[in-house]
Amino acid sequence: MIPSPRRFTQGLAMLLALPILAQSPARPPLQPPSEEATIQRFRAHAAPRAVAQRPPLSLEERNTIRRFKEAKPSVVYVSAIAPVQDLRTLDITKVPTGTGTGFVWDEWGHVVTNHHVITVEDKGTRIGDVDEVEVTLADGKAYKGRVIGTSFAYDISVLQVFAPLSAMRPIPIGRSHDLQVGQEVTAIGNPFGLDHTLTKGVVSALGREIGTGYSTRILNAIQTDAAVNPGNSGGPLLDSAGRLVGMNTAIAAATGASVGIGFAIPVDTLNRVVPLLIARGRLEPPRMGFETMGSYEAQQIFGITRGLVVKVVDPDSPAGRAGLRALEVDASGRVKTMGDILLGYQGRQIENEGQFMAMLELESPGDEVIFDVLRDGRIIKVKLNLRVPKKKEPTSI
């Protein structure tokens, strides 16, 4: 069928319109807002966040907070003070040489700390001990202190602090013999100078044996995973009742930083040793009757790096009766004759005076002891009888 002219014209118009539609420009896609626009739009929503409600503190948390608040006034910051001479002006000033932690032992102003906290060292070499310390209480006030008692064997020192007794709050004392592995403990101290830092853990082992810097061993030490670091030394280890159960002393780490294994001297040892140090100044070693030159002094003068130079011998003593020789000096103080050098004691090497004193503290008076002595270039053995000789009774006539 032939379309009518009218329908033909309409169809042709539609065909002609198709290319025109296909060639019309497409609408551009929507672009995301710029970053700057997003920032500006969201700035308008700046406002404090609503505080989420929380349940009450747990019983454990409340107990830890309470025990820390109760113990804090008993924990002190200890700074060892030593005289230092200015090589240019020759002026002598007192400067801090070491810091650590301590705790108030009793109501008479006694503070207990580790002895190594108040030890003066120069490039890792032990020079000696300080007599004066500065003790800062929890309120930030600092007071002078004096070292009145020391045990090398147990690495314990007692300080007398000249602060108002009303400001010295003794720490509650507990027991260590009935501790159990798994018990919660907290440590309070001044690690890296950060005062009154609390860490928490458990007793991770008991009955450990740890070494001191004086070549002795402390028995029945407490092992804990409460983090302790340099500066915690001398600080208290507390049980969940807030009682002292140990004094933080050492960490098991080659790098000197905590790896989760710390050791504390048990409080039962402290409760036995500290009263003796307060009363007498030291544990009573057997009397031998000689004095030695300080290790640092001997090294500076004679170049001796091991052993002890005998400086003075009391003739009426075990050392005098055994023939131990002291060095001789002339009127000007110059050495005329070198004295004996003590190299060994009871089969063990003598390194320095601190280590030797520690060994003496562990000896029972009344025993016979043997020294390895360097004399005139030869090593000989000198035997000291520590038994007090009986006095001869007068003969009756």
Residue 159 near residue 148, CB atoms below 8 Å: yes
Among residues 250, 274, 294, 272, the alpha carbon closest in space to that of 159 is found at 274
Query: Whats the size of the chain, residue-wise?
Result: 397
Among 116, 157, 295, 372, which one carries the catalytic annotation?
A: 116
Q: What six digits make up the tokens of 42?
A: 């969201």
Run of H or E including 355:
helix 353-361
Q: How many angstroms separate the CA atoms of 253 and 20, rounded?
A: 85
Run of H or E including 267:
helix 267-280
Q: How many CB atoms lie within 10 A of CB 43?
A: 8
Run of H or E including 245:
strand 244-251
Longest dimension (CA), the chain: 179
Among 151, 176, 204, 233, which one carries the catalytic annotation?
A: 233
Q: Parallel, antiparallel, or unpaired: how do β-strands 132-136 and 142-151 relate?
A: antiparallel
Q: How many angstroms separate the CA atoms of 215 and 360, rounded?
A: 12
Among 129, 155, 195, 372, which one carries the catalytic annotation?
A: 155
Q: Catalytic: 196?
A: no
Tell the burial category of 19 from Cβ atoms under 10 Å away from its Cβ (0-12, 13-18, 19+).
exposed
Q: Catalytic: 372?
A: no
Estimate to the nearest angstrom the gap between the alpha carbon of 284 and the chain centroid.
26
Q: How many CB atoms lie within 10 A of CB 253?
A: 15
Q: Catalytic: 139?
A: no
Give the CA angle between residues 52, 56, 60 to the nearest 5°: 130
Residue 97 near residue 161, CB atoms below 8 Å: no
The alpha carbon dihedral of 30, 35, 40, 46 has a sign of: positive
Which residues are marked as active site?
Answer: 116, 155, 233
